[in-house]
């Protein structure tokens, strides 16, 4: 089956799938906005100097790090307050890391069923219900934190149950709306919602923290909940599971999408196919994708949650400068991902590279480039080199974006009828990374010194290198044999064979 030019291109203002893409991007934004807002909020909530005084052995153990302290002396409490840090909670580094990771422990439970739910039930309502519960728990967070640490921790655990439902459901809707030739670009756009979330958090949080009412920081959670509920209302009105269910899409665009998305006909018209769990879980292709989802989430959590700590403890930035600096790499991710994804689609469309080769090239660029930036930050950046830090953060954002046209795109190709299940498996592994990252951070970074942060960055670089090597060896973007659904007649079978050619070719 030859490439069919769409009735309207994806970025045409009358192409309804463009608005579907924007809505799903907002859903991803809500998911990550509510998930990651604690990282920047914590630098406003916690009194770090009080935490340091809790350790009676600190002065003895810090002797090995005196060269760091002499170069960039630790801030005293009055200096922290002058920079905008005026937290009142006395939570240790381990307690702070556990608050970050708590959400992901319970996400593991919901992830085990989220893919199956996304493949078999109304994905729109799964997304909306999850976002409503998530927003409500976020609004309750300041109350819980004021009651007790463990009340706040319990709220974070509760959030995890709905957190794991959103992303696989979004991925399933995308697979039913967009043809293979657009999927690299689509993946780049909708995943930018996660970067947008960190940017909004990083830039907005410092403004909210300095509000004199209730110490300012509770507004971080109130604003997040309100914004999320507004997006829920908009999505309820305009979002639909597929073109066939949408009342807003034009007839010509609907026909084009139906012709291009035959791989989902079984999901919409007949009894859903039996999901081959064993073959999915033992597939080297799926496992290599999952490994890269691990590295992506591990790196993402390290930067989105703990980069503000690095800027406070090592770079000694003010709260406002901290927010801008934390946002910088995520701004570059959004700027770079669309050109990189468009370049990947160009390579496939012009048959310069196969879809598998394109994904491997982009994934190698992402993993090798990201690892290099982590190593450079580890050895070259301290409080005396803020300009170099900004340059490396920009380069990190560019290289990190390559993964969207790599392993993330491959998920949409390798098994279209089971994309929700595979996305769920990859997300499950990603949740393990989200749990591991805070644990590694608290293990390697006890006293918030430059040397300890160096170890954190080097460890993260190693994770990225291993994942990139695995995808180069085992990765693929071809439809797997176990993912091809038997047809009832030869004519239909030939049509699907042609559709598989589209997936492999573009």
Q: What is the pLDDT of residue 295?
A: 95
- What is the residue-wise DSSP string for 378-423? HHH-STT-HHHHHHHHHHHHHHHGGGGGTHHHHHHHH-GGGHHHHH
With a cut of 80, say whether residue 122 has pLDDT above it. Answer: yes
With a cut of 50, say whether residue 215 has pLDDT above it. Answer: yes
Q: 275-484 — its CATH code?
A: 1.20.1250.20
Mean pLDDT is lowest, of 355-369, 423-437, 449-463, for: 423-437
With a cut of 50, say whether residue 63 has pLDDT above it. Answer: no
This prediction has a pTM of 0.77
Task: For residue 44, give every residue at least 6 positions away whose Cβ sits within 8 Å of its Cβ, in sequence order, or none.
Answer: 85, 86, 87, 205, 209, 216, 217, 220, 319
With a cut of 80, say whether residue 52 has pLDDT above it. Answer: no
Q: Which residue has the higher pLDDT, 47 or 500?
A: 47
DSSP 481: G
Q: What is the pLDDT of residue 506?
A: 27
With a cut of 50, say whether residue 388 has pLDDT above it. Answer: yes
Count the Cβ atoms, other than its own, within 10 Å of residue 157: 16
- Specify whether the CB–CB gap between 326 and 311 falls below 8 A: yes
Q: What is the pLDDT of residue 403?
A: 87
Count the Cβ atoms, other than its own, within 10 Å of residue 120: 14
Residues in the chain: 506
Mean pLDDT is lowest, of 89-103, 116-130, 481-495, for: 481-495
Of 197, 128, 181, 127, residue with least CA distance to 17: 181
Region 17-26: mean pLDDT is: 92
In 263-381, which ranges are continuous DSSP H helix? 265-269, 277-282, 284-313, 319-349, 355-380
Q: Are the folds of 12-53+81-263 and 275-484 the same?
A: yes
DSSP 288: H
Give the span between the Cα atoms of 360 and 506, in whole angstroms: 14
With a cut of 80, say whether residue 500 has pLDDT above it. Answer: no
Q: Which residue has the higher pLDDT, 409 or 476?
A: 476
Residue 6 bridge partners (DSSP) = none
With a cut of 70, say whether residue 51 has pLDDT above it. Answer: no
Mean pLDDT is lowest, of 40-44, 56-60, 273-277, 468-472, for: 56-60
Q: Which residue has the higher pLDDT, 377 or 122?
A: 377
Q: Which phi and psi (to 5°) does residue 406 adopt?
A: -105, -105
The model's confidence at residue 200, banded by pLDDT at 50, 70 and 90, is very high
Going by CATH, does the domain composed of 12-53+81-263 fall within 3.40.50.970? no
Region 156-165: mean pLDDT is: 92
Q: What is the pLDDT of residue 40?
A: 84
pLDDT digits (tens, 9 = 90+) for 337-353: 878 888 988 888 888 99
With a cut of 80, say whether residue 490 has pLDDT above it. Answer: no
The model's confidence at residue 70, banded by pLDDT at 50, 70 and 90, is low
Domain residue spans of the chain: 12-53+81-263, 275-484
Of 39, 42, 33, 20, residue with least CA distance to 229: 33
- Specify whether the CB–CB gap between 330 and 199 falls below 8 A: yes
Q: What is the pLDDT of residue 439?
A: 92
With a cut of 60, say whether residue 446 has pLDDT above it. Answer: yes
């Amino acid at each position: 089956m030859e490439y069919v030019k769409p009735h309207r291109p994806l970025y045409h203002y009358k192409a309804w799938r463009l608005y579907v893409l924007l809505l799903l991007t907002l859903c991803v934004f809500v998911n990550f906005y509510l998930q990651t807002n604690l990282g920047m909020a914590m630098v406003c909530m916690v009194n770090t100097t009080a935490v340091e005084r809790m350790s009676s052995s600190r002065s003895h153990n810090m002797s090995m790090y005196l060269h760091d302290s002499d170069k960039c002396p630790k801030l005293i409490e009055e200096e922290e307050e002058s920079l905008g840090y005026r937290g009142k909670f006395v939570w240790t580094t381990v307690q702070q890391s556990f608050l970050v990771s708590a959400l992901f422990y319970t996400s593991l439970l919901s992830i085990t069923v989220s893919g199956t739910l996304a493949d078999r039930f109304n994905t729109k309502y799964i997304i909306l219900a999850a976002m409503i519960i998530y927003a409500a728990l976020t609004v309750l967070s300041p109350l819980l934190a004021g009651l007790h640490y463990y009340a706040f921790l319990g709220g974070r655990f509760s959030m995890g149950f709905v957190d794991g439902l959103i992303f696989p459901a979004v991925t399933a809707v995308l697979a039913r709306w967009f043809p293979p030739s657009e999927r690299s670009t689509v993946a780049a756009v909708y995943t930018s919602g996660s970067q947008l979330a960190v940017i909004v958090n990083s830039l907005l949080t410092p403004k909210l923290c300095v509000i004199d009412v209730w110490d300012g920081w509770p507004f971080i959670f109130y604003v997040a909940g309100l914004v999320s509920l507004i997006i829920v209302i908009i999505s309820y009105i305009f979002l639909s599971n597929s073109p066939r269910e949408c009342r807003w899409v034009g007839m010509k665009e609907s026909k084009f999408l139906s012709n291009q998305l035959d791989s989902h006909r079984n999901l919409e018209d007949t009894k859903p196919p039996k999901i081959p769990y064993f073959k999915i879980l033992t597939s080297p292709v799926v496992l290599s994708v999952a490994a890269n989802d691990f590295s992506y989430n591990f790196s993402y959590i390290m930067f989105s949650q703990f980069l503000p700590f690095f800027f406070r403890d090592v770079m000694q930035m003010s709260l406002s400068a901290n927010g801008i600096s934390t946002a910088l790499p995520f701004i570059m991710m959004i700027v770079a991902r669309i050109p990189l994804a468009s370049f990947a689609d160009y390579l496939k469309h012009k048959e310069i590279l196969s879809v598998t080769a394109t994904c491997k090239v982009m994934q190698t660029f992402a993993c090798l480039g990201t690892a290099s930036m982590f190593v450079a930050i580890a050895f070259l950046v301290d409080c005396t080199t803020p300009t170099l830090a900004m340059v490396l953060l920009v380069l990190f954002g560019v290289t990190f974006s390559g993964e969207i046209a790599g392993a993330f795109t491959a998920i949409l190709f390798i098994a279209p009828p089971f994309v929700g299940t595979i996305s769920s498996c990859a997300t499950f592994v990603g949740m393990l990374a989200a749990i591991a990252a805070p644990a590694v951070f608290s293990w390697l970074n006890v006293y918030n010194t430059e040397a300890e942060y160096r170890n954190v960055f080097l460890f993260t670089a190693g994770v990225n290198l291993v994942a990139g090597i695995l995808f180069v060896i085992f990765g693929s973007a071809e439809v797997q044999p176990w993912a091809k659904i038997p047809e009832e007649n030869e004519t239909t079978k030939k049509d699907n064979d042609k559709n598989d050619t589209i997936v492999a070719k573009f």
